[in-house]
Structure 1
Amino acid sequence: MRYASITDRLASLGSEKWAVHAEARCRKSKGEPIIELTIGEPDMPPHESLIAEATRAMHAGRYRYSNGRGEPSVVEALVRKYKKRRADVTSANVLCFPGTQTALFAVMLGLVEKGNAVLVGDPLYATYEGVIRATGADQVTVPLRPDKGFHMQAEDLERAITPECRVLLLNTPHNPTGAVLTAAEIAAIGEVCRKHDLWIVCDEVYEELVFSGSFASPFDDPGLAERTIVCSSISKSHAAPGFRSGWAIGPEEFTSRLLSVSETMLFGAQPFIADMTAFALDNPIDTSARMRTSYESRAERIVTVLSKAPGLVPLMPEAGMFIVVDVSGTGMSGEEFAWALLDEEQVAVMPGASFGDRAADFIRISLTVPEDQIEEASRRISALATRSNCRKEKRA
């Protein structure tokens, strides 16, 4: 039988990247005491008021068809949120989607196609390559260097640009590294994008999980307004990943053009979830503040423990719910270390190769489990590193 070429372009870019996670889940279902540190699924539930609002909305009959742009309740709440950052935002700048992933997919579909290219930092979030390849466009990577804290440098971006490039896919705060771009870095990157007439698509899903300092975005610069699109959701900020409630905020001409694409894909999300999202955006809820404190503390504990282990270099994140660790000193790649850790210590982490070529020497550890599991997992990771070091010495 014959298939569309998209199935070939995405053939190895789906669940294959999550093989360690899938295997860990399988073993866990069979009763193995796996400590799962793979995905960014918050260990605290959504605030009870969100569940109450979703329930109220369902009982009020808010389960009928919606519209392509989004329910008025959530569109207006998003206008209020983003108007605090840039005064010219109106409902015409808003499109709602079921989660950031869907927003990114639709946005890319509206901006690039075969013959175009998209710039993205490497390391990068695991699904970005698929989002880009799905359109037929090529991926062009910009090195994110550990010695620069994984912050994208304007000069590295400039060097990577080819005539085919039309979009920079930016992610700050960054997954997997937790890097947070400064306002000065954003300004320099924005200047390069202006010079080369590039769109900036900025994934800001971890906006509310910055440990210290301020969050900066190209969206906040009026000079970049015509070329910047923000994608985000309540998945991380409100510990509500399963509700699948996200959005894209961009220029009016862009949202007008993309609306037909969105309507063809979805024709609206669930009204009761829209009402819950509006409530989340409009009310002071402390979920993100509690997560920030918790994740920072857990990351600091991992750094303290793993820094003492031979061959491991943990890099303290500036935001988010992950920490990356350089394991090259153990003599293993991130892939090898992750599988050995699962087999020998019953701890599941993500191999860095799932996040790009430049992350191949790393593992990514999720901070979304209780402190006692973080402590025990750190001990087991250290134990594997120590054994690996002993094996290296014997071979030498």
Structure 2
Amino acid sequence: MTHFGRRRTGRPSGKTPEADGITRHSPRPRHPATPPPRRPARHLEFAMPIAPPLAPMVARLEGGPAAAWAVTLRGEAEKRRGRAILDLGVGDPDFATPPVIVEAMERAVRAGRTHYAPAEGEPALREAIARTTAASTGTAVDPAQVHVFPGAQAALFATLMVTVAPGDEVIVLDPVYTTYPRCILAIGAVPVTVPLDPAEGFALDVGRIEAAITPKTRAVMINSPGNPTGAVFEAAAIDALAALCTDRGLWLVSDEVYAGLVLDGSHHSPLASPAGAATTIVVNSLSKSHAMTGWRIGWAVAPLPVAKALRSLSSSLLYGVNQFVQDAAVTALTDPVAIAAAAAMTTRIRTRRDAFVQALATSNTVRCHVPQGGMFVLVDVTGTGQSGIDFADGLLDQEAMVVVPGEAFGAASARHLRVGLMAEPATLIDAASRLSRHAGRSGAQR
């Protein structure tokens, strides 16, 4: 087990979680025991004031695997200098928000829906979310269980703040969406990473999760369909995990922002599990399913005590989401034209996935993990002998193409690339050709 910062001691002898790849990331102290001495000013009238220190939480929010994201920043810099870059890195749909949703927002603004909204969300939107969630899970949802946030990321952070205490452990799956560990560390808790096996299609392994549970474990976080893996967890595994969390008294936080983008099979939420209702918190949004990333609208569906706590937090932090955006979200969830438009986006992403995967299948050096959902493809570049970081750097240099190295998401996706399906099939076929050419060069240099 690799520790970042202080090493925990006193674990019982025998087989350790390190043998299974389980990793605990301890928050590091950021402030020295004594403040550094002030440097005397040469002229007092020009002395610069020394600001008080920031809270330790700020340092824990920063970071992540910086080297893995450097290629993305370098690609942005090259675009600003005028170089034509094929950017398949950032996970922002290239679709326009369906016009019927935009028109609903415009009507709301003109009708004066520009004032404070209830901290927990507008009643009409909470009712629409409750109905939609109940229809997809088969579990009754009270609108009082729904809390609206400016995006799923805010909902995730708020959920952790009201369910996890400093020193608690939160189990996350590796590969992991990059903000999860930072959010956990920010509140003083410890992220414990449990690896998923690429050879098994990054399937959910409940046995590994159970092996990682300690008396300090407070929650488990999952993401299906997964970012970056595209894996859609099987219903039986989800049900087993929900039962495990209920039996052990753990919160199960289910990030379902890609649930509307299932390309093969079907999505199964732990809220649909017989044992899931008491301990499951579902986080969702319209960002990916309806191409509304910039609208910032998401929500949490939680047991009533959690929903009540979220309201208290939101009252101090946010105090509501724009009324006109919430009105547009009701249209997104209930209007048949908007629902059909979202389904059409999923169909287009499936077509794009198939075009890219088929084009890359001719390579003898790299291979795809075919995603069952989401909007990314993980490409295994192990055959080139390079890390994902090195390969992505060379791909930008040689082929003017930006992707995200798998190392950004954890050890389990090292020597992989995350390729976004944010372009039409012809462009993605060209992307596969660029990737194949660079893989051929890289493999030849081994």
1:223 is displaced (CA, Å) by: 2.3
Residue 237 of structure 2 aligns to a residue whose secondary structure is helix
1:29 to 54, 64, 80: 80
Corresponding residue number in structure 2 for 1:316: 370
Normalised by the length of structure 2, the TM-score is: 0.85
Question: How far has the Cα of 1:203 moved from its partner?
Answer: 0.3
1:80 maps to 131
**Corresponding residue for residue 211 of structure 1:** 263
The 3 A distance-change label for structure 1 pair 307 and 179 is: same
Give the counterpart letter for 1:152 in structure 2. L
Q: More displaced, 248-257 or 267-276?
A: 248-257
Secondary structure at the counterpart of residue 223 of structure 1 = coil
Kindly report the root-mean-square deviation, in angstroms, between the aligned alpha carbons of the 2 structures: 1.5
> d(CA) in 2 for partners of 1:319 and 1:380?
24
User: Offset of 1:15 from its aligned partner?
Assistant: 7.5
8 Å CA contact 1:143, 1:152 repeated in 2: no
1:86-101 matched pairs, under 5 angstroms: 86-101=138-153
SS of residue paired to 2:277:
helix
TM-score by length of 1: 0.95
Aligned partners of 1:135, 1:371: CA distance in 2, in Å? 42
Q: Which residue number in structure 2 is paired with residue 238 of structure 1?
A: 290
Measure, in 2, the Cα distance between the counterparts of 1:241 and 1:156: 34
**For 1:299 and 1:191, how far apart are their aligned partners in 2?**
34
Deviations 1:184-215 (A, max 9, x none): 11111122212321100000001111112221
Moved more, 303-312 or 262-271: 303-312
Instruction: Describe the SS at the equivalent of 1:166.
Output: strand
Equivalent in the alignment of 1:248: 300
Q: Which of 328, 334, 337 lines up with 1:276 in the alignment?
A: 328
Name 2:20's counterpart in structure 1: none
Shift of 1:375: 1.3
Deviation at 1:390, TM superposition (A): 1.4
Distance 1:370 1:133 in 2: 38
**Following TM superposition, by how much is the alpha carbon of 1:259 offset from its aligned partner in structure 2, in angstroms?**
1.1
Alignment match, 2:97: 46
Contact 1:46 1:287 in 2 (8 A): no
Q: Which residue of 2 aligns with 1:12?
A: 63
Deviation at 1:311, TM superposition (A): 2.4
**1 CA distance for matches of 2:166 and 2:63?**
19
Q: Which residue of 2 aligns with 1:221?
A: 273
- Give percent identity, aligned residues only: 39
Is the 2:263–2:350 Cα contact (8 Å) retained in structure 1?
A: yes
Query: Does the CA contact (< 8 Å) of 1:14 and 1:127 recur in 2?
Result: no
User: For 1:159-194, what per-residue CA distance to the aligned partner results, in whole angstroms no more than 9, with x for missing partners?
Assistant: 122221110001111110110012111111122212
Residue 335 (structure 1) aligned to one of 389, 393, 397: 389
Residue 357, structure 1, aligned to residue 411, structure 2: yes
AA matched with 1:169: M
Preserved contact between residue 330 and residue 385 of structure 1 (Cα < 8 Å): yes
> Are the counterparts in 1 of residues 161 and 187 from structure 2 also a CA contact under 8 Å?
yes
Aligned length in residues: 392
1:156/1:246 CA distance change after superposition, 3 Å:
same
* Paired residues of 1:239 and 1:287 also in contact (CA < 8 A): no
Match of 2:251 among 199, 202, 206: 199
Post-superposition offset of 1:292 = 2.0
**Partner in structure 2 of residue 71 of structure 1:** 122
Show CA shifts across 1:112-136 (max 9, x none).
Answer: 1221010011001111111211111
Structure 1 residue identity aligned to 2:245: C
Paired residue secondary structure (1:317): coil
Equivalent residues in 2 for 1:293-304 (5 A)? 293-304=347-358
Q: Distance in 1 between matches of 2:396 and 2:268?
A: 37
Look up the match of 1:390.
Answer: 444
User: Which of 308-317 and 334-343 deviates more?
Assistant: 308-317
2:230 equivalent in structure 1 = 178
Structure 1 residues 152-167: aligned runs within 5 Å: 152-167=204-219
Shift of 1:382: 0.5
SS in 2 for 1:41: coil
Q: Quick one: structure 1 residues 388 and 265, their matched pair in 2 at CA, closer, same or farther if it must change by over 3 Å?
A: same
Code of the residue aligned with 2:360 in structure 1: it is: L
Amino acid aligned to 1:5: P
Preserved contact between residue 353 and residue 360 of structure 1 (Cα < 8 Å): yes
**Counterpart amino acid of 2:192?**
V
**Cα contact 2:65–2:407 (8 A) shared by 1:** no
2: distance between equivalents of 1:17 and 1:332? Answer: 13
Distance 1:16 1:288, change over 3 A: farther
Tell me, yes or no, if the aligned pair for 1:79 and 1:91 is still in contact at 8 Å: yes
Shift in Å, 1:222: 4.2
Q: Could you tell me which amino acid in structure 2 is paired with residue 368 of structure 1? A: M
User: Is residue 309–residue 382 contact of structure 1 (8 Å, CA) maintained in 2?
Assistant: yes
Matched, 1:168 2:220: yes
Partner of 2:48: none
After the TM superposition, which residues 361-380 of structure 1 pair with which residues of structure 2 at under 5 Å, given as runs?
Answer: 361-380=415-434
Determine the C-alpha separation between the residues in 2 that align with 1:74 and 1:44: 24
Deviation at 1:274, TM superposition (A): 0.2
- Equivalent residues of 2:239, 2:275 under 8 A apart: no
- Is the CA contact (8 Å cut-off) linking 1:38 and 1:365 kept in structure 2? yes
CA-to-aligned-CA distance 1:215-237 (integer Å, 9 cap, x gap): 10111124211100000100011
Question: What is the DSSP-based 3-state SS (H/G/I as helix, E as strand, rest coil) of the residue aligned with 1:115?
Answer: coil
